[in-house]
């Protein structure tokens, strides 16, 4: 008597194995671009907050929240106003470098 293997339903319709768990190519490309964008954003944020920390340490930056806006001064010069602290600091870095 010979032993006969029984295929699982996935194997029977050709969707089994390691290849079935792979994402479609367009999703792999999307995921790769998402990871690259995330890494770039993290690097940009790290650079911004290093700049900010250095300016705080040197007492070269000041900020004030008034009338629902953040005003940022660098080296005694007003350089940015925005509704969010994050955007005000980003604008200050851009305008002062």
The structure's pTM equals 0.63
**In which domain, by residue range, is 49 found?**
23-96
70 domain residue, yes or no: yes
pLDDT value at 57 more than 70: yes
Is the pLDDT reported for residue 44 higher than 60?
yes
The values of phi and psi at residue 17, to 5°, are 85, 180
- The total number of structural domains that make up the chain: 1
Q: Does residue 84 sit within a domain?
A: yes
Residue 86 in any domain: the answer is yes
In a domain, 8, yes or no: no
Instruction: Indicate whether 10 belongs to any domain.
Output: no
Which phi-psi region, left, alpha or beta, contains residue 64 (left: φ > 0; alpha: ψ -120 to 50)?
A: beta
Over residues 64-87, the pLDDT tens digits come to: 999 999 999 999 999 999 999 999
Q: How far apart are CA 72 and CA 93, in angstroms?
A: 10
Note whether residue 2 is domain-resident.
no
Would 63 be classed as within a structural domain? yes
């Amino acid at each position: 008597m010979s032993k006969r293997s029984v295929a699982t339903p996935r194997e029977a319709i050709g969707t089994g194995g390691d290849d079935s768990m792979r994402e479609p190519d367009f999703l792999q490309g999307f995921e790769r671009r998402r990871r690259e964008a995330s890494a770039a954003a993290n690097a940009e944020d790290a650079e911004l907050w290093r700049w900010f920390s250095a300016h705080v340490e040197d007492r070269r930056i000041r900020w004030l929240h008034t009338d629902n806006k953040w005003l940022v001064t660098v080296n005694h010069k007003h350089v940015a106003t925005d509704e969010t602290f994050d955007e005000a600091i980003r604008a200050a870095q851009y305008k002062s470098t």
